Amino acid sequence: MYKEELYLVVDIPPEKSAYVFRIDTIWNPTYRLINYGPLPIQANQPLKSFIGTSVTAPANGALAPMSYIEGIEFPLQNVYNLSDMWDVPSSFLANRLFVVEQTVTPEFLRVNAYIPINTVQASFQGNKLSLKISDLWGWKRGKFVMTHFPDILVGYNYANDTSFPVYTSVKFKYWEYVVSIPSDPAIIFNILADFIPEKIVRRIAYPIVTLAPDLKNQLQRLYGFFGFPLPSIERRAEYERKYAEILASPLVRESYLARAGGIR
């Protein structure tokens, strides 16, 4: 068994909550890098265009100038879901999740993600203005960090807003975590209130602005709740009580994670 940080926190911004996981194992302590290679794009595959004209991929793994593509998953042979290497079945791998740091080159390419695969997850002024990869903002360039939960498909989007027709390439640095949820509400409070040393807690925001129904249903099946409410530090007793109630709730006790031994 190998450990680095002891806990993983995944913030769920639209719920003002966070999942707190104890890291039981890091399945890949040594080998973190996957040079995946070109984006899974076929030559002549239709792409979307910034300038309205029809455009196709100029080669395998390539993006035309001023073009973009949405809903990319990463196929891999001999894994659970052949069309998406980051998807694992929650029915028997509920206690596993991936944190993936992705670098796409050339690094000036835009990248963002739809979660689940067809749901836009960037917006402005609440949900007034939805932000896609083709919009002025609502994306990053070159690098993206994602937490992949079991059975939640993520669609990655890429855009090339330059005059170059580009060959793409993707590199992943990943952590395959085996996790459980701490049974002590005081520990959960201390982690969420930042009373635990930073070096033993890895904290990541899930890049969403809305908990779409499909996503909500899957998180419900997976963990039985939508994260621990972020605490007010002067109300420790109240929040510890809330956390204890969550941990004791039937939905949590019957969740896939509980069945996988991740809730004690």
Residues with Cβ < 8 Å from 119, sequence gap 6 or more? 210, 212, 214, 215
Closer residue to another protein in complex, CB, 159/252:
159
Residues 57-86 close enough to bind another protein by CB under 8 A = 58-59, 62, 65
Distance CA 212, CA 20 (A): 21
Ranges assigned E (strand) in 13-95: 17-26, 33-37, 46-49, 55-56, 62-63, 67-72
Quick check: 145 binds another protein (CB under 8 A)? no
* Residue of 32, 71, 82, 108 interacting with another protein (CB under 8 A): 108
Helices (H), 13-119: 90-93
Quick check: 44 binds another protein (CB under 8 A)? no
* Residue 122 identity: A
Closer residue to another protein in complex, CB, 105/183:
105
Residues 204-263 close enough to bind another protein by CB under 8 A = none
Nearest-approach distance from CB 105 to another protein, in angstroms: 7
Encode burial over 196-213: b for 16+ CB neighbours within 10 A, e otherwise: beeeebbbeebbbbbbbe
Beta bridge partners of 156: 72, 113
Quick check: 14 binds another protein (CB under 8 A)? no
Q: Of the listed pieces 18-26, 88-96, 137-145, 237-245, which binds another protein according to CB under 8 A?
A: 137-145
Residue length, the chain? Answer: 264
Distance CA 233, CA 247 (A): 20
Nearest-approach distance from CB 48 to another protein, in angstroms: 16
CA angle at 15 for the pair 3 and 251, rounded to the nearest 5°: 75
Q: Of the listed pieces 81-89, 105-113, 118-126, 177-185, which binds another protein according to CB under 8 A?
A: 105-113
Closer residue to another protein in complex, CB, 88/166:
166
Residues with Cβ < 8 Å from 111, sequence gap 6 or more? 102, 104, 133, 139, 140, 141, 142, 143, 144, 156, 157, 158, 159
Closer residue to another protein in complex, CB, 103/123:
103
Site string for another protein, 152-181 (x = CB under 8 A): ---------xxxxxxxxx------------
Closer residue to another protein in complex, CB, 13/65:
65
Contacting residues toward another protein, per CB under 8 A:
58-59, 62, 65, 105-108, 136, 140-143, 161-169
